[in-house]
Structure 1
């Protein structure tokens, strides 16, 4: 059995992205406008020597990977409160860490044409809980809060909480709450 940070080896059960699996989400913004989309796992890719599963549809595309309970994602765009980042790699979950644990990522962002460094801090706010999403009860859920700050004139300024995401064992992302919208899983089919 391998270990990482003194944690037991993980089977990466919080992202069961097997070929052909599909996850349908409903996104509702502050104006109560809604969009439904389905992310389908369609193959593998290698980026900078790391292996990822490709997930997407006609409008959304991302790559997700997991090694020993550390889940990473390569996304095409992140935006919040005037800050944007493109082609970024983030570590969105470490399923072996206990409740209250934190980790961070450093990314490059742009705000009004000015590039700077931003810091993403993740905190496990729930672990082993249950959550009902769109009438479906999920167990063994991990919640991760993502907060951001940016380097401005040699100081680090808080940007705020970007999201709280909920991951269920055997399913993956079931809900993501952000200031501007909420995304919830409607249905899924794991192959």
Structure 2
């Protein structure tokens, strides 16, 4: 059964389930221990409703992570402007901050199974943002080059953030962000000319 995600009732139900999950996460501090039944019960919907919206817990978690990441980027870049060094730095810093905060949810061995799912969801959102921005900003550059640049840049930013988040005590986020900014700006320059 396909549902219309633009329907206000569907949006409300999804938001209710997302908020219920966040409440449970704050109480338990463990993603793995939260079941579909727990989410449905807290949201006062039945499991059938949950499964009408999401194929399984993994699909729910991917959607949850995408929405959290999109919200973070909208808060930090309200006009989605990354057309200058300041905007690009804000974007990179936002990714670093979000990845570090997400790592806080990955305390147990069981929770670490979700890390690849979350990473792919975040990287894809970052790719989409960069792709849309480069499509607007680049003139007479082939679609293939825009796609490749978006892909390489999104993985470069995201991969750097993930690597840094594993040992944040070794180097400040600001120092790492500054170095990533230099590399990313240089890699984007040919596409933005």
TM-score, structure 1 as length reference: 0.27
Which has the larger Rg?
2
Structure number having the greater strand percentage:
1
TM-score (norm 2): 0.27
